[in-house]
Chain A
Amino acid sequence: MKYWRETLAVAQRILIELLRRRRSLVFWTIFPVSILLINGFIVAERAQLSMAEAFEYAAPSTLVGAALFFSCLGGSVATVVAEREQQTLKRLFISPLSGTSYFLGIFVAHTCIGIGQTLLVYTIAAFWGAKFQGSILLGGVIILLSIISYVGVGFVLGTQFARRTEDVNALVAAFGVPLLILGGAFVPSFVFPKTLLSIAKFNPVYHMVKALSGVSDEGKKFADIELHFWFLYVFAILMVVAGWLSYRRMLSVERRL
């Protein structure tokens, strides 16, 4: 009960702060919509697909490869760094708030944002006639695992490498953009040269995109995307553990008034 109450308090606070910064909220909306439209129109034109097929193809990579990456990874880095800069972390250390609740609170808040972006991306894709071809439940689990992975990585980066707000952009750009490109978020992975493709197979974004595209666009079943799913599953667990350890490390360094 204590954890649940604290988790909700932290999540609600993050969401209220986001709602207060209306401009950010508008930008978080513009970003996936614009990427989806650009991807959709490019694919329709270059691959000679119908708009419905093009948006079915573009929606998963736009969502997990771009939208969730920036909102969940960039967002959780920004949350931790902002708490550090405002020094509100100190106030949280003084309070009985547990580290687990804090982590879960950030995760729940970003899950809400991720769900919002999922609805947005798929609503717009549906407007062009796209359909979710496979199991919605399996698709939901893949999206959830992607969010967990991103929040975990965000925690590691935010607690270990980003001291100030200015660091966030540099970090996300340095780690993120190559991973996104190599993950097939912007350029389809089938155009990658062989060497790059073998490197991409170690990239979690590649597996997120492949797993969700398989289910959402191609209507594949679990058995067909098993390899991507398990890679993502293990990565998500590793990132939760790494995020948690990073948070504990930060606690031991910063638990001072």
Chain B
Amino acid sequence: MLHIKRLSKSFGQRQVLNDLTLHVRPGEIYGLLGPNGAGKTTTINIICNLVKEDRGEITINKQPVSEASKSLIGVAPQENLLYKSLSCAENLDFFARIYGLSKQQRWEQVQVCLEAVNLVDRAKSPVETLSGGMKRRLNIAVALVHQPKLVILDEPTTGLDIEARYEIWELIRNLKKQGITVLLTTHLLDEAERLCDKIGIIKDGRIVVEGSLSVLRELIPAQEVVVVQTRDEEGAIARASQLGFTHRRYGNDLAFWLPKPLELKEIIACFDGIAVDAIARSPVRLEHIYVEVTQG
């Protein structure tokens, strides 16, 4: 669906994209992750034909990016870019019109989109009267109104409460069920883990790792990650090192990679003689992989 090959872009002396390559298959939810300034937004700008690449190839549904390819894409930017004094239905109708839908198609699509984002009962409400979560859902609905092949969701749940977040996640899963391809950027690794079929981590303008979560997990030679709270961190690190555990810091947490699964009592025994206050264990998560890739 979306193929990007050796994409490069510089702004002045600053190289933002450097031979970035990624492939998104039809019907897939692709998570594009990376720290701020890594090149995610520039990539989206190029896909949307807002910025011209310096070098590289980019095709959407086998078409090169152009003004014509804009109709293939639906974009829900991070901010809710909506007309506040217009109602939900009027916002959708306006954008459907811009995308060239006939009156009948517009009427149908407005209903379909309002249902999809669960805003049918607020169809006539002005946007300024909606809650943050509703606005975000409408923002996504606007991206869907012209039935695009590829939907780009730029941090769709940033700033939302957990309930609103669940609703957006459900909406994204429904898009996948309808066969719509989704390119999702997010800083919420939990979100990417739950939703994405494939994840690409971008750093310094190029994709450094790419694959499904299970493929990415293989990047870390661990079966489990154990977070240890102790007043004797040096002792714990020395002990872990003797046992062949790799240690890492995730924020303030001191963690160890376990190369094979251990029973809890075995883990506790590993730190015998060290003043341990608490131990928490978890499978290798995207957070661990992300930190390894972006800070490693």
Please list the residues of chain A having a beta carbon within 8 angstroms of any beta carbon in chain B: 2, 5-6, 8-9, 12-13, 16-17, 20-21, 86-88, 90-97, 255-257
State the CA gap A59–B104 with chains docked (Å). Answer: 44
**B70 A95 Cβ-Cβ under 8 A:** yes
> Nearest B residue to A90 by beta-carbon distance?
B81
B residues in contact with A90, CB < 8 Å: 77, 79, 81
**A95 B154 Cβ-Cβ under 8 A:** no
Contact A16 B86, CB 8 Å, known A91-B77, A94-B75, A257-B77: yes
**B83 A88 Cβ-Cβ under 8 A:** yes
Q: Which of B94-124 contact A (CB under 8 A)?
A: 94-95, 97-100
Q: List 27 A-B contacts (CB under 8 A).
A: A6-B97, A6-B98, A9-B94, A9-B97, A9-B98, A16-B86, A16-B90, A17-B85, A20-B85, A21-B85, A87-B77, A87-B81, A88-B82, A90-B81, A92-B98, A93-B48, A93-B50, A94-B75, A94-B77, A95-B99, A96-B67, A96-B99, A97-B98, A256-B45, A256-B50, A257-B78, A257-B154
B residues in contact with A12, CB < 8 Å: 94
B residues in contact with A17, CB < 8 Å: 83, 85-86
Q: How far is the CB of A1 from chain B (nearest CB, A)?
A: 9
**A88 B50 Cβ-Cβ under 8 A:** no
| Interface SS, A side | helix
Among the listed B45, B82, B86, which residue makes an inter-chain contact with A20, where contact means beta carbons less than 8 Å apart? B86
**B48 A94 Cβ-Cβ under 8 A:** yes
Among the listed A2, A13, A88, A97, which residue makes an inter-chain contact with B81, where contact means beta carbons less than 8 Å apart? A88
A residues in contact with B77, CB < 8 Å: 87, 90-91, 94, 257
A residues in contact with B67, CB < 8 Å: 96
Judge whether B293 is part of the interface by a CB distance below 8 angstroms.
Answer: no
Q: Which of B4-56 contact A (CB under 8 A)?
A: 41, 44-45, 48, 50-51
A residues in contact with B100, CB < 8 Å: 2, 5, 96
Judge whether B142 is part of the interface by a CB distance below 8 angstroms.
Answer: yes
**B86 A13 Cβ-Cβ under 8 A:** yes
**A86 B97 Cβ-Cβ under 8 A:** no
Contact A86 B154, CB 8 Å, known A13-B94, A16-B90, A96-B100: no
Among the listed B45, B78, B83, which residue makes an inter-chain contact with A86, where contact means beta carbons less than 8 Å apart? B83
Q: How far is the CB of B137 from chain A (nearest CB, A)?
A: 16
Judge whether B126 is part of the interface by a CB distance below 8 angstroms.
Answer: yes
Judge whether B147 is part of the interface by a CB distance below 8 angstroms.
Answer: no
Q: How far is the CB of A16 from chain B (nearest CB, A)?
A: 6
Q: How far is the CB of A57 from chain B (nearest CB, A)?
A: 38
**B82 A257 Cβ-Cβ under 8 A:** no
B residues in contact with A2, CB < 8 Å: 100
